[in-house]
Structure 1
Amino acid sequence: MVRSLAEMLIIALFLLTFVIQPFRIPSASMQPTLNVGDFLLVDKRSYAAEGRLGSMLLPATPVHRGDLAVFLFPPDPSRHLVKRVIGLPGDRIRLRDGRVLVNGQPISESYAVYAPSRPNLFRDEFPNLREADPDVDEHWWLMLRRSIVGADVVVPPDHYFVLGDNRNNSEDSRYWGFVPQANMVGRPLVVYFSTSWKSGQTAEARQFEPTPPPPASTLGRLGKVLGDGFRAARILR
Structure 2
Amino acid sequence: MMMEEEVKVEVETAAPQPQPQAAPAAPAAPREPVSTVLADTVQFLASTIVIAIFVIVFLAQAFQIPSESMEETLLVGDYLLVDKVHYGEGGLWGKILPYDSVRRGDIIVFKWPIKPGNHFVKRVIGLPGDRLRMLRGRVFVNGQPLNEPYADFRARNHDFYRDDFPNVRYRSQQVSDAWWDEFPGFIRNGELVVPTGHYFVLGDNRDQSLDSRYWGFVPRENIVGKPFLIYLSLEPPAPEAMAARTNDKMERFGYVLVNLTGLARWNRMMRVVP
Map of 2:84 onto structure 1: 44
Q: Which residue of 2 aligns with 1:220?
A: 267
Unmatched segments (≥5 aa) in structure 2:
1-39, 240-252
Q: Structure 1 residues 57, 20: CA separation in 2 closer, same or farther (over 3 Å shift)?
A: farther
SS where residue 160 of structure 1 aligns? strand
- Match of residue 126, structure 2, among 87, 111, 118: 87
Q: Which residue of 1 aligns with 2:157?
A: 118
Relative to structure 1, is the Cα distance of residues 54 and 184 closer, same or farther in structure 2, using a 3 angstrom cutoff? farther
Gaps of 5+ in 1: 201-211, 231-237
Rounded Cα–Cα distance in structure 1 between residues aligned with 2:223 and 2:195: 15
Distance 1:187 1:108, change over 3 A: same
Judged with a 3 Å threshold, the aligned counterparts in structure 2 of structure 1 residues 23 and 55 are, in CA distance, closer, same or farther, namely farther
2:28 matched residue in structure 1 = none
Q: Which has the higher strand share?
A: 1
Shift of 1:117: 3.6
Residue of structure 1 equivalent to 2:66? 26
SS in 1 for 2:121: strand
What residue in structure 2 maps to residue 67 of structure 1? 106
Q: Distance in 2 between matches of 1:105 and 1:184?
A: 26
**Is contact 2:66-2:77 (8 Å) kept?**
yes
Q: Say which structure, 1 or 2, has more relative contact order (CA 8 Å, 6+ apart).
A: 1
Listed as ranges, the matches of 1:122-161 within 5 Å are 122-161=161-200
C-alpha separation between the residues in 1 aligned to 2:176 and 2:104?
24
Which residue pairs with 2:57 in the alignment? 17
Q: What RMSD over aligned residues (CA atoms) do the two structures have, in Å? A: 2.2
Partner amino acid for 1:81? Answer: F
CA distance in 1, matches of 2:79, 2:96: 26
Give the TM-score taking structure 2 as reference length: 0.73
TM-score, reference length from structure 1:
0.84
2:221 aligned with 1:174: no
Amino acid at match of 1:144: F
**One-letter amino acid of the structure 1 residue matched with residue 67 of structure 2:** S
Q: Provide the rounded CA distance (Å) in 2 between the counterparts of 1:49 and 1:77.
A: 21
The aligned counterpart of 2:138 is 99
Amino acid at match of 1:161: F
Report the residue type matching 1:220 in the other structure: N
Give, in angstroms, the shift of residue 56 of structure 1.
9.0
After superposition, the Cα gap between the structure-2 partners of 1:54 and 1:117, relative to the gap in structure 1 and judged at 3 Å, is farther
Moved over 6 A (4+): 53-57
Larger radius of gyration: 2
Residues 71-128 of structure 1 show CA distances to partners (whole Å, capped at 9, x for unaligned) of 0001111100000000000000111110110000011111111003432101101102
Aligned-partner residue type, residue 28 of structure 1: E
Mean Cα displacement is larger for which, 38-47 or 27-36? 38-47
- 1:174 partner amino acid: R
Are 1:161 and 1:177, in contact at CA under 8 Å, matched by a contact in 2?
Answer: yes
- More helix per residue: 2
